[in-house]
Amino acid sequence: MELAKDFSVNVYTAEPNRGHSPEQMAEMCANSIMHVSKTAHPVIHEQATQFKSRMQSVILEYMKKSVNSDRTTVYNALKDAGHPDLAEAIRKL
């Protein structure tokens, strides 16, 4: 069995003063889970590319839910600690 010889490295950058977006994180995750060889049969390549795209969409959906859930946790923690103004600022993000 011969391993695929196409190898690439992806570099992801973010805007100054912010981290990666959920879209960037979902893409990084999908790329870490699955690689579609450029030398694969065209039909297999297309099917794998479509599957990877769908996988990225599902990851993105759950990344966004995770961000919202974490903000809810932080909001409640700040509110319970007596910082309603900070809690409200987090909620509005």
pLDDT (0 to 100) of residue 11: 77
Give how many domains the chain has, as a whole number: 1
Structural domain boundaries enclosing 90: 68-93
**Comparing C-alpha atoms, which of 74, 62, 67 is closest to residue 20?**
67
- In the chain, which residues have pLDDT < 70? 1-8
pLDDT (0 to 100) of residue 16: 84
In a domain, 44, yes or no: no
In a domain, 37, yes or no: no
pLDDT (0 to 100) of residue 88: 94
Q: At what angle do helices 42-80 and 22-33 cross, to 10 degrees?
A: 130
pLDDT (0 to 100) of residue 17: 82
Q: What is the pLDDT of residues 51-76, one digit of tens each?
A: 999 999 999 999 999 999 999 999 99
pLDDT (0 to 100) of residue 6: 60
